[in-house]
């Protein structure tokens, strides 16, 4: 069994959002077309409480700064994907009727969660792994935002958990704090045994 996993395709990561990923909206038609090719589609949503540890404002800092919290490096972002707000909603235009289950992450005020499987301290799982195992999924295809953050960490965990893991490169967009961040993420994924596909290979 194969599953398509849609990572964080939310208003705040699209144009007009608090943490807009350049070109984020462009993936939506591609992702909608891809959904037609899968029997099983799951989605993650970044879902932070106000005052979340990943928000620069929580620490009186500027977005892009990196701090250490309880021994863990934390990149600081603008306030984004606050629970029950517009920014946390799925992006308009995203086909959501075919999404079998949604997994929220980042809801612990003190712990960030980039991967769709576990929080960054690996204390809690989101339930995505069991969801996939219960359905005998062996191969996962990942699309969404942002390539070098939540997509990458979800994909690397997918490999570690033993899933044959594909990232559909053109169905993702990245957010660069430093130029080259996306290329480095692609390299890290390749090195981590993630397969990089183009949507063309799946849509024909
Ligand atoms: C993400 C930064 C902060 C993502 C989430 O979904 O890639 N990036 N929180
Ligand atoms: Zn976040």
- What is the block-wise mean pLDDT of the chain (204 residues), using blocks of 10 residues? 98 98 98 98 98 98 95 95 98 97 98 97 95 98 98 98 98 96 98 98 94
Residue whose CB lies within 8 A of the most ligand 1 atoms, among 56, 145, 147, 154, for a mutation test = 145
Q: Residue 161: inside a domain, yes or no?
A: yes
Q: Residue 116: inside a domain, yes or no?
A: yes
Residue whose CB lies within 8 A of the most ligand 1 atoms, among 114, 157, 172, for a mutation test = 114
Q: Residue 136: inside a domain, yes or no?
A: yes
CA distances from 73 to 5, 17, 149, 183, 204 (A): 27, 25, 14, 21, 42
- 112 dihedral zone (left: phi>0; alpha: psi -120 to 50; beta): beta
Q: Residue 66: inside a domain, yes or no?
A: no
Q: Residue 101: inside a domain, yes or no?
A: yes
Tokens of 166: 């594909």
Domain limits for position 111: 2-49+85-201
How many domains are contained in the chain? 1
Alpha helices in the chain (DSSP H): 27-35, 128-134, 152-160, 181-191, 199-203
Return the pLDDT at 43. 98
> CB–CB of 10/148 below 8 Å?
no
Find the 185 Cα to ligand 1 centroid distance in Å: 14
Return the pLDDT at 113. 97
Q: Is 14 a catalytic residue?
A: no
Return the pLDDT at 71. 87
CATH label of the domain that carries residue 151:
3.40.50.850
Rounded Cα gap, residues 53 and 66, in angstroms: 12
Cβ of 8 less than 6 Å from ligand 1: yes
Q: Residue 115: inside a domain, yes or no?
A: yes
Return the pLDDT at 70. 84
- Name the closest ligand to CA 13: 1
Which atom of ligand 1 has the smallest separation from the CA of 148?
7
Q: Residue 78: inside a domain, yes or no?
A: no
Nearest CA residue ID for atom 8, ligand 1 = 149
């Amino acid at each position: 069994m194969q599953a398509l996993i849609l990572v964080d395709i939310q208003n705040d990561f699209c144009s007009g959002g608090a943490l807009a990923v350049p070109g984020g909206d462009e993936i939506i038609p591609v992702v909608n077309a891809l959904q037609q090719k899968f029997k099983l589609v799951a989605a993650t949503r970044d879902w932070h409480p106000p005052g979340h540890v990943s928000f620069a404002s929580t620490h009186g800092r500027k977005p892009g700064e990196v701090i250490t919290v309880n021994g863990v490096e934390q990149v600081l972002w603008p306030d984004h994907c606050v629970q029950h707000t517009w920014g946390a909603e799925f992006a308009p235009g995203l086909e959501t009727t075919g999404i079998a289950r949604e997994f929220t992450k980042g809801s612990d005020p003190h712990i960030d969660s980039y991967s769709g499987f576990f929080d960054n301290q690996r204390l809690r799982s989101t339930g995505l792994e069991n969801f996939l195992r219960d359905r005998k999924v062996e191969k996962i295809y990942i699309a969404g935002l942002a390539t070098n953050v939540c997509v990458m960490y979800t994909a690397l965990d997918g490999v570690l958990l033993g899933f044959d893991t594909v990232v559909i490169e053109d169905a993702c967009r990245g957010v660069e704090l430093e130029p080259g961040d996306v290329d480095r993420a692609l390299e890290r994924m390749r090195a981590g045994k993630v397969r990089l596909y183009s949507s063309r290979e799946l849509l024909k």
